[in-house]
Structure 1
């Protein structure tokens, strides 16, 4: 059967696992039915080249997916993607998670996308609330690097380059004014790192840790067809994968569901273009690929080594590896033959490594050769498991653990191939301080076709075990070693699902944030604490609240008894502030006390079909913002949610009667019962009933209603005529936003009811905003609108179409590009006061 026909048996989403990452753990792997010859090809193709490339970007989904698919899946190049932050400041098209919870989702999406393109994934951001944080849109690389900490970001990038040692580096973006400041910042430090990573005087402390300087051979920048050095044929069709590299790249981009990424492309020629920016090798104006003038195969490497004193023997060894790799490829797709050839090459790699270590070569040459041979050994271990159809698994009794718990974890190895392996060893890896005791033998003499061996371990979690960190290495992994044809290999495996140490009692207070109206300090604050028992069995605890000094809480404490793990119960508390409470920020903390220990954290379960299950462990706190707020009695609001914000919840908290409108409500319901109807951000793009019902909405306004429309993008099906008087959104979108949350705001119509009723808005109400002021501002609008504010980033022209309001018939239509969906959940007083005013018109 031809390779192309074989490929038709498998989809392009065949399970692709990362080759062993040098410095980051492999993400948990999802089992797919699409295995076999496609995965085998993915595993052996990298054996044919010793070249490497790195793509750098700012956020998850910044990667040049088609180019990465071409290099990794098509050429077999050892390919890495280095992404700066976790995308915490982005929007979410699949749920309401924002901030760190969204960062966790986007990281998992990036991990799954990286599996599909078979690349190494690295992040500069190392933990929750890392300095390298997605703080929202930025127009400036200087602002970005200042907020990240330029030295922090640069040190980490240099460390990645010196560890991964790529031959070619390609930043995903240019440093040009029309580009996101985060993208520009990554370009700036990547371009600078081309020389600095090779300079021992730059971050010399890294050298003391064992890293060595590394000179990248070439640096390329994105380019256009009119001016380029290399054209990458990403439209080439690969018969084995049954897809073009553009299609393979988009398959990975579809994993970025929270950002709405992924497109369907037809087959046919297409190219990505790149221009050589810096190089330490001779180059031509037009190059055949990124690796012109760079050693690409073992034969190329052998020629370079042979020129050095004492390099003849090593050169001969490298030529042998070239022959070995050719024999592996020639054996495809015969699994048993491929396995035999892989193990022969593995033996030769180990022999060559030993020879290099013993050779009298220059230190730099030895370091480089050992690094490339280590990568090849990792790739060969992966290829061995694929060729043998060896399936290794870590199967925990439970993936949800607590400190002090003992559990069982089973390691299994299954042989689905025709080659019998011997000397099988099963090893479980746990963190320092943990204990793992095998309950049976871990050694097996042979493992034949359709046979499974397994060992169960008793695992003890220490009492001081750290709570789950979503960006840390998996806490439990396994290694399965075995021998074929006298040569040992190793399969490293992690659990299919994240194994997490969670709070013994997870505490989730509701609300997580609320407003205290200082005009009514006597009003009680209801706090409901939902408690989930993660202890392995029955458990008891006392639940209480830590409140600010002088505040009262009833009851003082509430005992809870659980019969089993996973059981959930709730406790209701009533909190009252002091009569003299001042405008300020306050915090309430839920506490579970049991056996002399306290739990003060909650575990937010994050579960999506394309990601599996992970967790966000965070303090069990209620944030309270105290300020003066007037809310009209009897105010009734209909809210049309797009799923991207939860402003409706906060309106309810402050005393507004809010109803979430269904499609039926919008299409045929009585809209006149609502004082105000609010459309959530981008609602026209995600509520399909809105455009056909737009005339009903405008009639509602004409008859005296108050319609508030929050910002839209043009791609949200927005058309100027959806408004009663045309509103055209400015493009390119990147230029029509205000990113400085502290920028000066001028109220152009200070006497307008929006600034006076029921709350008097002053300059102080524009203080303490977060992340941005506005996004996707209008560029043109009808003369009927009143321009309410003027605002812009420092040094730029100010926008006057950010906040527009007009009378239409008996009612009012207001369009606002202010980022209410960020400000209101952050309890920004001025934003809440203005939004209440906005929904209170005509009261």
Structure 2
């Protein structure tokens, strides 16, 4: 009896919905999706879309390729979007990249494409491909693009961007790398270390998907290939424009919700390399089984399965699908589509039988060496004859079952399993090693995961069952399931956690003027009866008191906060690092946990060594009471509070009643007017505050054709543009050296502009009234100086300031000069 393998995600893959997150049980497709999946079995073409970031992909095209044409479609994003901005929370850098990774997976579950990455980091806006490729490492990222092509084996590669500047350097670099990889993937002398299980792969053609968003409505597009991607699929009751809009709207952290489109939707293309079609996107390509000889039986079997499908009784298609499987199995092993189409067929067999397989853990996480109770369910929800042979538990234990699954009665099994004492702690594989530079560093045992959206599940269970005279194997990752009183049943991936995590309140600890500070450490128990001692490992000359703190946590999940007094050495000026160490049961470990929770993605955890930067800063603050009008996704308020300011949050609903005069300064968060247009209702009140002697500092907002800024609080006309300085080392030249903001209360010098991260600033003012005075002139290499990054004007008895300087990045990163500059802006 032949054994067939049904992978955990294969049900979704058969329909194109291939990006199921580890923490989710694959969704049972409905009859319309099953019909599309059977139709898709006859297609053997693939298209790989290449761009730079999450949200760069053309979801209209991907939805049409995967759904309308039944092709295998994939999106290769160079980065995970770490360097972007966040409209839904305060996460930045790698945590934002984790959010955007899962937003891409959510998008792919909607549009049916598959998701891939390289190891490149999004280090922020870049103005040249040369800079991007230098920071990323040209050859390393090219190797990853070649690896993706050799794995995916596309017939057609499509770039979102062109190799011609001006453009975001990441965008241009993605096009350059795609063109180079198009040739390199086919060359066995390039990156030969990838070869073995993989073979060189030559795609037929390379196309560019022409961007039309900035073209005039009457632009002449006759020179381009075109495709109408807006068809309607009655089996789904939706057009591909509607599917695409839902997919694109998964990019919630970027504020990319869009309206549905219906009717004709034209996409345009220009050939770049390989075969050059003249009139149609796939001209000259055979994208069905007819591209290979000896496939007549496969074609006949698929046609029979498609014509015989009954949406009211999908289980009746199981015999026909098994005949499809038999015909595909007879093909030579070197057919590049054989293995994939076998998996798709196997998944459709299970889906048509209504088979439900699940493995749940009794808790969300457990520590290495612990015992975990698993609850297994196998349920046949159709009249198909199906027999559960057995299950294989984590660790390899096989449990014989030999039970018929009939009558919609579930088979259940509860069994404890013991985790290996040396089990790896769960964390995203690309964040396991320290993050620095332009490329994620992968641990040796994770390198095979290069480009994958997620790592392997912590635990998995294998179900073996017989259906239609054949034996199948279904693998399910272990999940934890709970019920939320509002959202209903939810699930997340089961994880392996440390016995104790010791998480610092901040990644960066500021020490103004050599003063000691209290450092809080949150201890959380991963197991019951956790006890030991926690201590701080500090650099020479630093003093932590007490030297250690004993603790005892009775129950798993208990938390306790301990505090240390940390004193820098006299005259300390250099940045240093601290590590929290837990001595527990004869072992010394250092783990922190950071969690990401948003309703549109599964709960996520990042576990890394518990460390923080120690940053001495000479800082004079002339004001203490600061009101903060929050914008989306910044940590400026908490950063100010950490150096001694008394910060009061002023959300829009509080502005109307708050006595503003009690604040010595008011600071407006990034993009506050973009995120909440109602703030404009308080314009006059804020300006009266300034007239009466207050100080109002507004951080950057955006203004574009897509998202125009309809209201602004400045007392005089000011136009925000898209200008920015991306070189974080750019010289900050005073426009007027006698400007008071440069000398009081902190005298600023060149050292204050060293050690900045990612950029100097963004969304500078492009035009302004003569009442405003620019403070700095700065520029990126080869460009004209910009003076719109910091503008100041008197208004009545007070002062108004607009700044595009990226305090929202610099303060959380612990840049001393940024604290000193902002203190000057806030001082009266």
Distance in 2 between residues matched to 1:410 and 1:542, nearest whole Å: 36
Q: Which runs of 5+ in 2 are unaligned?
A: 1-8, 213-219, 429-453, 480-490
Could you give the per-residue CA deviations for residues 465-518 of structure 1, whole angstroms, max 9, x where no partner exists? Answer: 22212242212223333333223334333235222222211111123322112x
Could you give the per-residue CA deviations for residues 661-705 of structure 1, whole angstroms, max 9, x where no partner exists? Answer: 133431232111111111000001223431111111111111111
Answer yes or no: is the 8 Å Cα contact 1:444–1:453 preserved in 2: no
How far residue 335 of structure 1 moved from its aligned partner, in angstroms, is: 0.2
Distance in 2 between residues matched to 1:178 and 1:38, nearest whole Å: 45
TM-score, with length taken from structure 1 = 0.88
Spell out the pairing of 1:433-472 with structure 2 (5 A cutoff): 435-438=395-398, 441-470=399-428, 471-472=454-455
Spell out the pairing of 1:28-107 with structure 2 (5 A cutoff): 28=22, 30=24, 35-107=29-101
- Pair 18,776 (structure 1): closer, same or farther in 2 beyond 3 Å: farther
Aligned partner of 1:346 among 325, 344, 349? 325
How far residue 284 of structure 1 moved from its aligned partner, in angstroms, is: 4.2
Answer yes or no: is the 8 Å Cα contact 2:50–2:160 preserved in 1: yes
Corresponding position of 2:439: none
Aligned length: 770
Aligned partner of 2:584 among 590, 594, 598? 594
Could you give the per-residue CA deviations for residues 568-625 of structure 1, whole angstroms, max 9, x where no partner exists? Answer: 11111111222x2421112222222111112311111222221121101122123211
Corresponding position of 1:323: 300
Could you give the per-residue CA deviations for residues 144-196 of structure 1, whole angstroms, max 9, x where no partner exists? Answer: 11111111101111111112111111122222323211111111011111122
Given the alignment of the two structures, is residue 247 of structure 1 paired with residue 279 of structure 2, yes or no? no
Distance in 2 between residues matched to 1:589 and 1:121, nearest whole Å: 36
Given the alignment of the two structures, is residue 684 of structure 1 paired with residue 661 of structure 2, yes or no? no
Could you give the per-residue CA deviations for residues 360-413 of structure 1, whole angstroms, max 9, x where no partner exists? Answer: xxxxxxx3x1x2011101111221121111111121222312122221323322
Deviates more, 1:212-221 or 1:342-351: 342-351
Corresponding position of 1:832: 819
Given the alignment of the two structures, is residue 615 of structure 1 paired with residue 605 of structure 2, yes or no? yes
Aligned partner of 1:389 among 349, 354, 357? 354
Corresponding position of 1:529: 521
Deviates more, 1:418-427 or 1:213-222: 418-427
Distance in 2 between residues matched to 1:60 and 1:688, nearest whole Å: 26
Spell out the pairing of 1:689-700 with structure 2 (5 A cutoff): 689-700=678-689
- Pair 188,663 (structure 1): closer, same or farther in 2 beyond 3 Å: same
SS at match of 1:722: coil
SS at match of 2:687: helix
Given the alignment of the two structures, is residue 560 of structure 1 paired with residue 551 of structure 2, yes or no? yes
- Pair 154,525 (structure 1): closer, same or farther in 2 beyond 3 Å: same
Corresponding position of 1:258: 253
- Pair 381,510 (structure 1): closer, same or farther in 2 beyond 3 Å: same
Could you give the per-residue CA deviations for residues 706-762 of structure 1, whole angstroms, max 9, x where no partner exists? Answer: 1100111126662476311111122xx3xx111111122211122112111100011
Answer yes or no: is the 8 Å Cα contact 1:21–1:121 preserved in 2: no
SS at match of 1:693: helix
Distance in 2 between residues matched to 1:488 and 1:16, nearest whole Å: 16
How far residue 345 of structure 1 moved from its aligned partner, in angstroms, is: 0.6
RMSD: 2.2
- Pair 17,148 (structure 1): closer, same or farther in 2 beyond 3 Å: farther
Deviates more, 1:32-41 or 1:214-223: 32-41
- Pair 253,684 (structure 1): closer, same or farther in 2 beyond 3 Å: same
- Pair 378,705 (structure 1): closer, same or farther in 2 beyond 3 Å: same
Given the alignment of the two structures, is residue 110 of structure 1 paired with residue 104 of structure 2, yes or no? yes
Q: Which runs of 5+ in 1 are unaligned?
A: 1-14, 126-131, 306-314, 358-366
SS at match of 1:689: helix
Given the alignment of the two structures, is residue 404 of structure 1 paired with residue 369 of structure 2, yes or no? yes
Answer yes or no: is the 8 Å Cα contact 1:39–1:386 preserved in 2: no
Distance in 2 between residues matched to 1:17 and 1:615, nearest whole Å: 27
Corresponding position of 1:819: 806
How far residue 795 of structure 1 moved from its aligned partner, in angstroms, is: 0.2
Bigger relative contact order, structure 1 or 2 (CA pairs below 8 A, ≥6 apart): 2
- Pair 44,449 (structure 1): closer, same or farther in 2 beyond 3 Å: farther
How far residue 552 of structure 1 moved from its aligned partner, in angstroms, is: 2.2
Distance in 1 between residues matched to 2:712 and 2:600, nearest whole Å: 38
- Pair 178,744 (structure 1): closer, same or farther in 2 beyond 3 Å: same
